[in-house]
Every structure is written in structure tokens, then in C-alpha cells.
Structure 1
Amino acid sequence: MPRTLQDKLLKRKLKKNQEVKKTLTTIDAPVPLSSSCNGTIEATFESIKHLLSEPVYKAVKAMGYTNLTEIQSQVFNALLTSDDRPSIKAIAKTGSGKTMAYLLPVIEMINATGADDSTGTMAIVVCPTRELAMQTYGVVVELLKFCRQKAALVRGGGVKKDEAKVLHWGASIVIGTPGRLLDHLQNTERFVYNCFSTLIIDEADRLFETGFEKEMTKIINLLRGIRAHQTLMFSATDNPLVQQFSKKAFHFPPILIDLSLSQEQATVAQLQQEFMLVPSEKRFFVLFCLLANLRSKKVMVFVSSRHSIFLYMTLLNNLCVDVMYMHGHQTQEQRNVSFNQFNRQDNGVLMCTDIGARGWDIPIVDLIIQYDPPDDPREYIHRVGRTARGGRDGKALVLLRPEEWEFVNFMRAHKVQLKEKKIMWEQAEKIHGQEYSKIVELVRRNGHVKSLAKTAFRSYIRSYLSHRLKYIYDKNTIDLHKAAKSFLLDEPPFTDIDEASTNPRLKKRPAEARAEFGKQSFKKSYKK
């Protein structure tokens, strides 16, 4: 190939990459919170105006906040009215306004000291996920709009050299994920934090569930070696892991603010929660009917696997229902693009796995649909916590097979009340039956879509077998032929359930081994 042609192709490729990077950077920018973020009690931000400096109050007013939430009222009372800097451990529901509860007092404290970028880092916020760190950073930027101080974001997936430059020039508040934050604390030479005074641990239960205990212990030990500091720990639940880590995190016993003790429900009061009993073969038809009737709304749909996302996204797009998606196998940039696009839109559908269940603050999500129900009440609470945030109303719907009715009683035992929503079958068939029959025919004729359906079906069965609540999710109640209909297949492909019943070697295994069989790969070994 001639040298000149090679140069032309290389330049064209570089130009294309630069354009893509520019687009991603633009879409990846923090999204300001909606101006309708109001609290749920009578106390207002105006009533604490005398406790805030003018630049901070001006920023709060510009963001559109009016009323306080219960957690904000109690935390502000403890931090803004005290001359010293007490440590706090706060337990409150998802969507109750915990982020603003800890950011506002910390920013007011830093602004009151007259610190600037040359002072170095005074506060560090640790978040369990990159996405939550990004959102928290976006709120901090808004609150610092009229202040001299700056903030920095450090997270896995970001460019470490660029982060180091920002830290070198100075940032009063640093928001980050545990691994990357620890890396900078240990290895970034010009990261100045000798005036450090406050450590904030957000979503503490999630941090320790995802295995960040070692990193958090190192961070705390490293910061404790500099000077005594204030620690603010916020969590949706006070599980044994959080209780155990609290002993390491606090120098002295903290002020405990536990709103879960005084509340009869595990979710916020303005959240309307319902369930539908749907036969296996009608599950996708019901989902399509729901989304077709909610084209003007903002909806999040939770499914068990990325394979289900690929299938349902393809089918729904063919039915003129635009779907965005997000799952754990995407790159960080791809997830950021999906999240921010959905965040900026007034309506649309975001289909995701449980990666979308924690920490996301999306303005005005109208409905959460749990297409594949969880077996952990904490996961259910965090899923539905993506709606009814900051005092807004919201709805949540979970689809259950009739055989999974016991899930309702299970959630009731965990302070979650679900009401049944009836399905108008005749009306649904009349309005959407013809469109649905076309998509069924598409799966029969299109080999690629049929392959997606088979893979999604196998993933669904594997996920079902991995459920811990066997008395609710009993594999013996699954009719494979009916379940295959919800994936628009005429016949079910070979699955783990088939192998479990036909493989004589598996029958000889102990019960524990058989219970773990659903987690194995579907691929068979071929004999030469």
C-alpha cells in the first residue's frame, strides 16, 4: 500500500476517534439536579438561611431546593448548630436526601474557614460506584458555583494522570471510589491533604457488600495517621457489616441518627407499590403493553441478565418503543453515556440489570418495573429507590408468576406493602394483540433474533436456579414450554433443568452440589 494512502487512512481514523472522544466527553458531563427536588417536611432551607454563608445559600436557591427532608433536618441540626465537628452515623431510606444532608454542612464548613485551592484537600467523599461518585461530584459543583473552592473527581475508568494534575492544582473536596482514591493517597506525590478534616462514607452498606472493606480500612488508617478528623457515615441499612466497620471508622462514639427505627415502612411514603400476577407465557406481552401505554413517561425496567436486555431491546425497538440499556459488561464510558442520555430526556425506557439499582439520582422517574423480581429485600428497596426521590411521587411494579405469590408476604415481613394490580386481558389483546403477533412472527423467521431469544431464555433459567429463596422461586413450578413463550419461542431450548434431570452423574451428587448447578456454564465438552 502506498505510503500516502496509509497516512490518509491513519489521519482519518485519528480524526474519527477525536470526534467520538469529544462526543463522549460532552455527554459524560455531570447532569444538574432537577429544580423540583423538594423535601417532605414543613421546615425550609430559608429557615436555616442564617446558618449558611451567602454563596452557599445562593447556590442552594439556584438549585431549586425549598423544603428539607427528615434526614436533612436532623443532620443540619447536629452539624450546622454545633461549634465543634461531631461525627455522625445516619441510617435512612433510599431517596430520602442523604447526599444533600452531608454535602451542605461540609461545604459550609470549608467555605467558613476561608480555605482555597492552595490549602489542599479538606474533605473526602467515598462512594461505592463510579456512577454515584459522578453524580455526587455534579451536586458538589452546583453547590460550589458561587464559592472560591473547587472539587475533584477520582474514579476507576478515569485517566489517572489527568486526575493527578487536578489534585496537584488543589481541590478542597475530593469525591472518589475506594480503589482509585487509595491509589492517589498512596502514590500521587503532589496530592496535598495535610489540612484534611472530614471523611464522608456514602452508601456504607453497599461499600462493604461489594468487598471494599480492605481498601476502606487502609484509607481510614492512612488519614488517621495525619490528624484526628470528623467522620460522617451514611447508609440505607444498618447491617452487621456496617456495624462492624463502624468500630474502625470512628475515633469516638458518633451521633446516631436512625430513621429506620421510627418508620413502619422500609420505603418512602410517597412511593406507590404494586404487583401483577402474570402467567409465564404472558410476561413479555404484559411488559410490551405497559411500555406502549407509557410512551410519554420515564420508566426503568430491571431484568436478570444482559442477554434479556439484548433480546427485549431488539423486540421493543421493532415495536416502536425506544429503549436505552445499561449492564455490567459495558465500559464505563458506555454506561455514562446511557445514564446521562436517559437522565436528560423527559421520557423513555432504561432497561438495566442490578447495576442500575444503587445510588443513581435520575430526575423524575415515573415508574420502576421489576420484570425479574429479586430475592433480597435490600435489592428490592434499592431498585424502587430510583423513583419517589426528594419528596416526589413515584410508582413501582413487580411482575410475579402466580406460583411466586409468597413473595408478597415475604416483602410484607420486611416492611414493604404491595397491592395487587389487575390486568385487563381482553382490552390488552384488543389494543396490542395485532402488533405483538407481528413480533412473534419476526422471531420465528429471523435466525439472529431467535438466537438472542434462546440465549436469553437459558440465562433466565440459570438466574432462576441461583435464587436463594427456593420456597418462592421453586424450579419445579416452571413449565419450560410456557416460559419459552415469554421469550417468543415455540419450543424451549436445552437448559440446566433438562441436564439436572437427565444427567445420571449429577443425580449422584449431594444436594449442595445440585443447588450450585445453575451457576455452571451451558457449554458442553465435546469428545474427540
Structure 2
Amino acid sequence: MLRRRLLATQDDDVANVLSTKKYSQLMAMVLSPTRELARQIYDQAVYFFSRVLPDVHVLLFVGGTSVEEDMAAIRAAKGLVSVIVGTPGRIEDMLNRVAELAILDTKEFEVLILDEADTLLDMGFDVSINNILSKLPKQRRTGLFSATQTQEVKALARAGLRNPATVSVQLASNTKTPSTLTNFYTAVEYDAKLATLLRFVQSKPTEKHIVFFSTCASVDFFGAVLAHLTKAEVPDVSVVTLHGKMQPKKRIAHYDEFVQATSGLLVCTDVVARGIDLPDVDWIIQFDPPQDPNFFVHRVGRTARAGRSGSALTFLSPNEDAYVNFLSIRKVPLEEMNVSASAEDAVAVLEQVKALQLTDRDVVEKGTKAFISFVRSYKEHQCQFIFRFKDLNLAKVATGFALFQLPKINELRCLDNVAFTPSGVKVVDIPYKDKAREKQRQKKLLEIAAEHKAEKLDRFEKKQADKKRKLAADEDGPRRREKKKGMHQQIVEEWEELEKEEHLFKKFKRGKLTKEEYEAALGDLSDGDDAGMPKKDKKFQKKVVVKQKTSEQKANAAKREERIRARKKAEHIKRSQQRAKARRR
């Protein structure tokens, strides 16, 4: 359709009209989840259009290039028919910018392609995709290409496609992997994985390998370690690293280096697991099984492409062997291969890694970060019924990462069975190989030491000030606990006085005391209340004072009783709450 439209413009001599306009006419767009896949599509599109439709200008918009370069590329396509290939984030930004400048016309837009649509949605590009769709004409052809049909892809098809039709390509084979692909697995402990990988690569130095890790930090650490080990033992094998957090220019350079190489080792994450066609890959090695089991097929699919043969090897610990049956149920059969390194060989390789760490602090820090990221990744595995965190031997994992000591992280605080023995090396004394970084570190250490000294002095001064305040309080009056003791004594006395009053009242009710005797006894209980009153006539004083004391005593008794009851009620409520809290525990 696109070719027919473009040929029609040439026949009608519309191309000459376009060349005089101040904008580029957008005819098609391809969205890709990763930069590497977008670059690969772009290269193929340039190759195709240069031979079939040479007047079409293909543009690439991915991260890693400046916005000025992208805008200059659009302006350079003025008067031409354009096809845009790129990642959703950068294309969304570009469309927002050109809308203000009116240098890109989308009225004649024909085709929109979403490659690896499920990955686009899994990576959180749904908002960007919806914004892009809102800027394109509704009358268009849209294609969603995906190896796996998820609910999100189906929802996007219902929302973004008019009259959608599903084209499903299925193989007659009973397996989900190509017939030319041989899948192996090997049972290997975590502390022997590195040695096993090294010996396996040594046995096939002329072949091309891709090694998948679960995290970017693991790629950085094992990439540096493997580069050092292979340089000494297999000098012909080059090691290249690739992950999503790498600097864009470095990422592109490493990708191109591995594509052009005839042999070598690509240490990477799942950033290259989908869609990318890396030529002549002989072996896929899964150092860490993928978090998402769907990515197992995508990973091994980087080899045995287009009818070529290939092999894949997965490292599993002995308590993860149920993963083999799990994959078999999903129509991905695995054969066992015995390539695990011996215990002596594993120790020897790890000693080489530790020797490397002692010369460069950067490798030590990379190893610690890799261990932490692996532990957290393993804990969040989607197949937790197979990859159980409680069954993970963290001591062997830490040994496999060549750690000198365990880091202090939340995931390890609740575990008491980590039988890891620290090496005794003072990590703080290990220098950076880079002199500039080491100089900066030493400067920072001095600053930290000065801060600690100042904090210690401040704590000492505060402690001395507190002592002085306590001494002054002792001289001026009773301490707080003595005040508390006085309050307690007052409560006890009030209780005793109330009991005596109650006892007298009962005797008065039973007739054992006359009214005069009862009032006189109550007056004796509060002798100190009227101390200091001026003396008057005895007869008058006896009648008036006793009567006054009786009324005051009753009022005071009622108040005391009310206070005591309120206090007892509060204590009862507090004890009830404590018992309820203990039962909940």
C-alpha cells in the first residue's frame, strides 16, 4: 500500500510539489521497545528503501542522541516522504516538538507498526503509545507484532485498531523452540558457576557466545571479571558487556563490536532477548534463569535463527531442578550436560578474582552491588515455587561473587543460617586502581573522620551538660523519682483515710456509735485541716467547727473516692488493652 501510494505520487509528479514545501510528509512509523532493535530495523529499512523506493527518507529516533540532532534530521527531510523508526519515548518527544514548528505533515500517514508489542507495554510505554496514537490519523493501517499475545496487547488492539484481525503463525512441531536448537542444562552450585562458565568458553574459543544475567550490576561485575580471566587464559576471546543502564554511546559501540566479531563473549541482560538478530551466535548460556519464564524462549531464540543450528545451556543449582520439568510442560525440553567445574577448580578461579579485587576497589564495589541486586532479583522471581528464597544457599552465592564480607541489607537481617565466613580483609584499605578516584576517596575519608570527631565531641559536651543539670536539680529540690514516690504515698494515705471513714460510717449505721461520737471521730481523722484557726468560745467553737468539719469532710471524701475510682478504672482499661495486645501476638 505504501509503495503504491509513493509510486502514485511520482506518476502524478507530486514529488516536485513536495520539494517546494517547508515540511516533511510522514507516511509510516515503526515503534520498537529497545534502541538496539530500532537500529536493526532502521538498517534493514534503509537497505530496503534504497533499492525499492529511493525517494523515501528513513529517520531514526532513539535515546543517546541530542534533540538538536533529531530536529536537524527532520528539517533535512523537508520536501521528502519520511518513514520514522525509533523508541516510543523519543518519538513522542519529537512529535510534541514538531507540532509547534509545523515541519512534519501527518495527513497522508498510512502505516503504523508496533514491533514486540507485549514488551512495549511491559516496559511501561503504554502512555507514550497512546499519546503517539492521538497525534496520528485514525484512518491508517496498524500492525501489532508480538511473539506472545498478552491481555495488554489484546486490550491495545481493541482500543487502538479499527476492525482488528488476528494473524497467528504456528508450527507443526510439538516444541516451542526450533528443531535446529539443542537445549541443555547443567546442575552447578553457585560458588562453581564462574569456573564452569570459564572452562566452557575455554573449550570453544572460536565460537560466539551470549551469556545472560538477571541484573545490570551482575553484567558489570562478571563482565570485568571474565575480561580479566579470559585475557590470561583465552586471549583470543573478547568480552563485551551490554545492559539497559549503560551509556548510550558505549552501548551502541559494544553492540556493533559484537555484531562484527567472528567469536567472543557477550555478557548481557534481557535487553537483547527480544527481536534482535545477532548473526552467527553458536551458544546461549543462561548464567541466571530469567525472572519471567516467557523470556526463556526469547533468550534461546538468539541462536538457531533462519534455519541455522545452535545450542543453549542453562545453569541450575541442585535445588532448582524442578525448573526442567516446568519447561518440559511448556514444551521446551532440556537435556542434561555434565560440565560443572570441580571444587578445586572453583576455588582456584575465585582466588584469581579476589586477587583482582585487592588491586582495584572498583571491582569490589561491583561485586557487592551485583550480589545485592541478585538477591533482590531472586526474591522477586515469578516462579517462586521453584526458585524459593528460603532454600537459597546465600553463603555459596556470596562465595560465588567473591565477597570479602556480607553487606548489611534488609534481605539478610532476618536470616540466621547464612554460614558465610568473612575473609578478614580490611575492605576500607583496598585502593582504586584509578588514581584520581583514589585521591577523591582519601579526601572523603578525611572529611568523614573529621565529621565523626566533631559528632563525638558534641556528644561528650551534651553528656557533660546533662550531668551538670542533674547535679543542679539535686541541690535545688527532690528528684523526679522522689516526687513520684511522694505522689504514690499520697494515694496510699487517701485510700487508708477513705477506708477508716467507711468503717466509722458502718459502725454508725449499726448503732454502735452515736451521732456525736461519729462526728467527733471524723473530726479526729482531719485534725490538721483547721490548724492555725483562731480560738473562740468553746461551746460555739465545738458546735460550729464540728459541723463545718463534717460537711467539708464529706465533700473531701467524695472527691477522693471519685479520683480513686477514676484511677482504678484507667488502670483496669490499660491492663485489658495489654492483655488483648498479648493475645493478638
Q: TM-score, normalised by structure 1?
A: 0.68
CA-to-aligned-CA distance 1:63-111 (integer Å, 9 cap, x gap): xxxxxxxxxxxxxxxxxxxxxx6xxxxxxxxxxxxxxxxxxxx557645
1:443 and 1:451, CA in 2 relative to 1: closer, same or farther beyond 3 A? farther
Q: Is residue 396 of structure 1 aligned with residue 289 of structure 2?
A: no
User: 1:317, CA displacement in angstroms?
Assistant: 2.1
SS in 2 for 1:324: strand
1:248 and 2:159 matched: yes
Offset of residue 243 of structure 1: 0.6
1:340-366 CA distance string (max 9 Å, x none): 111111111111122222232211111
Identity among equivalent pairs (%) = 32
Counterpart residue type for residue 128 of structure 2:
E
Alpha carbons 1:316, 1:322 under 8 Å: kept: no
In structure 2, which of residues 147, 168, 174 is the aligned counterpart of residue 236 of structure 1? 147
Paired letter, 1:131: E
Kept after mapping to 2: 8 A contact 1:362/1:386: yes
Match of 2:89 among 156, 165, 179: 179
Residue 187 of structure 2 is aligned to residue 277 of structure 1: yes
C-alpha separation in 1, matches of 2:303 and 2:227: 24
The 1:112/1:373 distance shift into structure 2, 3 A limit, reads farther
- Which deviates the most, 302-311 or 337-346? 302-311
Cα separation, partners in 2 of 1:301 and 1:437, compared to 1, 3 Å: closer
Cα gap change, 1:487 to 1:167, in 2 (>3 Å): same
Change (3 A) 1:437 1:454: closer
CA contact (8 A) 2:182 2:311 kept: yes
Say which of 379, 383, 394 aligns to 1:469.
383
* 2:118 corresponds to 1:208: no
In the TM superposition, residue 465 of structure 1 has moved relative to its aligned partner by: 1.6
Deviation at 1:406, TM superposition (A): 1.1
Matched, 1:197 2:110: yes
In the alignment, the residues of structure 1 paired with residue 26 and residue 188 of structure 2 have an alpha-carbon distance, to the nearest angstrom, of: 54
Moved more, 466-475 or 446-455: 446-455
1:100-157 deviations in Å (ceiling 9; x for gaps): xxxxxx5576457648574722111111222211111100111122333221112233
CA deviation after TM superposition for structure 1 residue 265, in Å = 2.5
Between the aligned partners of 2:173 and 2:7, the Cα distance in structure 1 is 35
CA distance in 2, matches of 1:252, 1:288: 53
Q: CA deviation at 1:407?
A: 1.0
Pair 259,465 (structure 1): closer, same or farther in 2 beyond 3 Å: same
Task: Answer yes or no: is 1:130 the counterpart of 2:54.
Answer: no
CA distance in 2, matches of 1:365, 1:470: 31
Change (3 A) 1:433 1:178: closer
Pick the aligned partner of 1:121 from 6, 26, 40.
Answer: 26
SS at match of 1:372: coil
- Give SS of 2:26's match: coil
Alpha-carbon spacing, 1:390–1:112, altered in 2? closer, same or farther (3 Å): farther
Secondary structure of residue in 2 paired with 1:282: helix
Q: Which has the higher helix share?
A: 2
CA separation of 1:302/1:112 partners in 2, compared to 1, >3 Å: closer, same or farther? farther
Query: Highest Rg: 1 or 2?
Result: 2
**What's the CA shift string for 1:298-324, capped at 9, x where partnerless?**
111111223322332232222215311
Deviations 1:170-224 (A, max 9, x none): 3431112222222333331211232211111111111111112222223223323
Aligned partner of 2:287 in structure 1 is 371
Question: Structure 1 residue 158 and structure 2 residue 65: aligned?
Answer: yes
Please tell me the residue identity of whatever aligns with 2:194.
Answer: F
- Partner-residue secondary structure (3-state), 1:408: helix
Alpha carbons of structure 1 residues 231 and 306: separation in structure 2 relative to 1, 3 Å: closer
Gaps of 5+ in 2: 232-236, 418-451, 460-585
Q: CA RMSD in A?
A: 2.9
Q: Tell me the TM-score normalized by structure 2.
A: 0.62
Counterparts of 1:32-181 in structure 2, within 5 Å, are 110=6, 114=10, 118=19, 120-146=25-51, 147-168=54-75, 169=78, 170-181=80-91
- Alpha carbons of structure 1 residues 185 and 172: separation in structure 2 relative to 1, 3 Å: same
Residue 238 of structure 1 and its aligned partner are, at CA, apart by 0.7
Q: Partner amino acid for 1:309? A: V
Q: Which has the higher contact order (CA 8 A, sep 6+)?
A: 1
Distance 1:154 1:257, change over 3 A: same
Contact 1:461 1:495 in 2 (8 A): no
| Number of equivalenced pairs | 396
Deviations 1:28-65 (A, max 9, x none): xxxxxxxxxxxxxxxxxxxxxxxxxxxxxxxxxxxxxx
Q: Evaluate the alpha carbon distance shift between residue 424 and residue 174 of structure 1 in structure 2; reply closer, same or farther with a 3 A threshold.
A: closer
Unmatched tracts of structure 1, length 5 or more? 1-84, 86-105, 504-525
Aligned to 1:222: 135
Q: Could you tell me which amino acid in structure 2 is paired with residue 241 of structure 1?
A: E
Distance 1:452 1:194, change over 3 A: closer
